[in-house]
Structure formats: structure tokens, C-alpha cells
Amino acid sequence: MRRPVLAVLLLVPLLLPAGGAVAAPGVPGDVPAGPWARPVEGAVTRPFDPPPDRYGAGHRGADLAGAPGSPVLAAGDGVVVFAGMVAGRPVVSVDHADGLRTTYEPVDAVVGAGRPVARGTVLGTLTGGHAGCPVAACLHWGLRRGEVYLDPLSLLEPPEVRLLPMG
């Protein structure tokens, strides 16, 4: 019985798209539980929606509602690896343990590359102008491990659900 299981496990990496792979919706992609926090407190305006393939249409992150000028916080401990413009938009990227990288845009950065940050460190301020945002400003929060895009909301603890009596 062990040989077929081992064969399947060895074939799985060969079946995944090379680079730019994505995790299925709702699948945490082995994201370690830990001390993570939301970068802004707003509601999710657009959830993670991975594309079917490397070049397919999709949404490789989650958009969170915010207010222009509000602080954007590091979701976890790490090191800023990029703070600058990408395709005309201001972006901050932070590398974390276990090969994870979070990205935040559009953010007017107050940190620079090489700076260590702790969870809750202000990375910059949220700016307006994120395409498709239904409110004054939205933060696009991304997460990936290597080339695999993951749902950044999977970093967060599930909410505590309480049942209340009707009436």
C-alpha cells in the first residue's frame, strides 16, 4: 500500500503549474497558524479568487475597505523587501518566516527595503484609487509562498461564532 501513496505524492508537484500556481479558494495552502493580524480593519470588499491557471483571470489577494490616509499595518513579523511603485501603484512587500510574502497596495510607504517589522508596525498610509473599490479606498492584501498565491484571509483566526436566542 505504501508504494501507490508514495508514487502519488511524488507526482503531485509534476501536476502543478510551473510558477504562478495558486491555491484553491478556502484552502489555506499550509499557512502556519501564528500571530497574524489584519492590515486594516475594514470589511472584505473582494475576496481571494485564484485563477484557473498561471495566466488566467482571477484575484490574487483580498481587498479590504479603508479610508484614505489610514495606517496600513504589517500583518506579521518580517522584513520589508520592497517599497516602491509597481505598474504606477505604490506597493509594500514583506517577507515572513516559512517563505511567506505579504503585499499591500496602494500604500504610501513610511518604511524602506531591509527594515525589520513586527506585526502591527505601520507600513504606510492607504491611498485611494484601487480599481474596482466600492468605497473611498481599498487595500489589496496579497499572500504567496514562492510562486504560489494563497488567500491572505487564511492567516487570520476564524471568528468566534455565538448563537443567540431568537426574539
| The amino acid at 161 | V
3-14: pLDDT as tens digits: 433 333 333 333
pLDDT at 133: 85
The distance in angstroms from the start CA to the end CA of the chain is 56
* pLDDT band, residue 160 (cuts 50/70/90): low
**Helices (runs of H) and strands (runs of E) counted in the chain:** 1, 11
pLDDT at 30: 44
**Percent helix / strand / coil, the chain, rounded to 5:** 15, 35, 55
pLDDT at residue 107 greater than cutoff 80 = yes
In this structure, what C-alpha cell is assigned to residue 101?
Answer: 510574502
50-82: pLDDT as tens digits: 888 777 777 889 999 999 999 999 999 999 999
pLDDT at residue 164 greater than cutoff 50 = yes
- Gap between the Cα atoms of 38 and 51, Å rounded: 24
Contact by Cβ (8 Å): 119, 77 = yes
pLDDT at residue 157 greater than cutoff 50 = yes
pLDDT at residue 130 greater than cutoff 90 = no
- The structure's pTM equals 0.74
Q: What is the DSSP string of 48-96?
A: -B--SSTTS--BSSEEEEE-TT-EEE-SSSEEEEEEEEETTEEEEEEE-
Q: Which CATH architecture has domain 35-155?
A: Distorted Sandwich (2.70)
**Average pLDDT estimate for 23-37:** 50
Query: To which H or E segment does residue 3 belong?
Result: helix 2-15
- Gap between the Cα atoms of 128 and 97, Å rounded: 30
Contact by Cβ (8 Å): 141, 76 = no
Taken in order 77, 81, 86, 89, is the CA torsion positive or negative? positive
